[in-house]
Amino acid sequence: MKTERYIITIFGIDTKYYTDEYVSHLWKDCANREYMRSNNYVTGLIDRKSLVCGEIRGCDLAEYAHVISTVRNPAEVENQNIFMDSLKNILREFRDALDQPSMTISIQNVEFNYFV
């Protein structure tokens, strides 16, 4: 199936205060609340990556970034715009809880298959 992969990169989370477990738990809570509102669940795969942003050029973000990726399963959410609305709702709530860190999102077209 043709669909999209969404990759959200979050910069500037204080990893001494916000643990990886907390970040995952927060995503789950936000996704659960969105599911209760819209019946759309947005699964996230969360990785912590080393961030090289260049102090020499004035970058003062944390040394790590969290990368959250999710793929829209067309069998669950047929409409891309509906999925994107749910993802935006989750991201707003997620960012609010983390004191508004910097964030980017990229969207890639992918071929998606799943096996039961």
Summarised one tens digit per residue, pLDDT across range 31-72 is: 999 999 999 999 999 999 988 877 776 776 668 889 999 999
Name the residue range of residue 8's domain: 2-111
- Please count the structural domains in the chain: 1
pLDDT tens per residue across span 12-34 = 887 778 889 999 999 999 999 99
Is 68 domain-assigned?
Answer: yes
What CATH number corresponds to the domain at position 26? 3.30.70.260
Per residue in 13-33, is it b (16+ CB within 10 Å) or e — as a string? Answer: beeeebeeeebeebbeebbee
Is 82 domain-assigned?
Answer: yes
- Range with lowest mean pLDDT among 83-87, 103-107, 109-113: 109-113
Is 30 domain-assigned?
Answer: yes
Q: Rounded to the nearest 5 degrees, what angle is found at the Cα of 99, between the Cα atoms of 59 and 11?
A: 35
